[in-house]
A = this chain, B = another copy of it.
Amino acid sequence: MSGGVAGHRTGRARGLRKVPLSDPARRREVFDVVLALLAEVGYERFTMDLVAQRARASKATLYQRWPSKAELVVDALQEHQQVAAGPEAGSYPDDLRRLLAAWLAGWTERDRGLMLALLEGSRRDPEVARLRRERLSRPLRQAAEAALARARGRGEIPGQVDEELLVELPFALVLTHVLVLDEQPSPELVDRIVDGVLVPLLRGGPGAGRSPAVPAEGSARPSA
């Protein structure tokens, strides 16, 4: 009664014991379906029928565990959140490089769609909106702010720079690339953001921003 969840399609016509939704693995299975669907079609076109079908459960069963579509979505989203581990490098740019890399590392194709679904669902369901803020924005922001604090301590931040925007900057750029430009975020993008924006931005300050590999301009690609 727990066994490897085994979500394959290997002709499970009849001979599969029904796994209750109370089983954590089964739950995860459902969440996977939910997240995949959200990413694929967005919040509004996400239907309980689709979930039931793909998760090989009946809608009634789903409704027994989650009282509404909104709650199922929120619950799935909640579980999904992986808090980025706080990095600690020697300089703000490098801290950010790691932070962003860690953030993007967990991204699959679907997270791009999830991002959109999250924004879309926020309008319909305040709970989704809260989740968006708490789970997506805040942790990253906090990690970035911690890095900022360290940088400030080291005197890396020029006085003229708006610190709040500085923190938002990298995420804003990634978001724009993902949402508006339909791009899949890449490690190169991280480097371009750090070397092409953050480093120059911090240069004027006391700490006179040191930057590891400075690739002049454009879509630089430090080959090592």
Contact = CB atoms under 8 A, between A and B. Distances in A.
- Count this chain's copies in the assembly: 4
Interface stretch (A72-80, A97-105, A198-206): A198-206
A180 B168 CA distance: 11
Interface residues of A, number: 54
24 contacts: A41-B123, A119-B119, A136-B180, A160-B203, A162-B192, A162-B193, A162-B220, A164-B218, A165-B197, A166-B197, A168-B176, A168-B177, A169-B172, A172-B172, A175-B175, A175-B176, A197-B201, A200-B201, A200-B204, A201-B201, A203-B203, A203-B204, A203-B208, A204-B204
A169 B181 CA distance: 13
Contacts of A208: 200, 203
Q: A-side binding surface: helix, strand, loop or mixed?
A: helix
A219 to B, nearest CB: 7
A214 B218 CA distance: 13
Nearest to A179: B119
Contacts of A201: 197, 200-201
A118 to B, nearest CB: 9
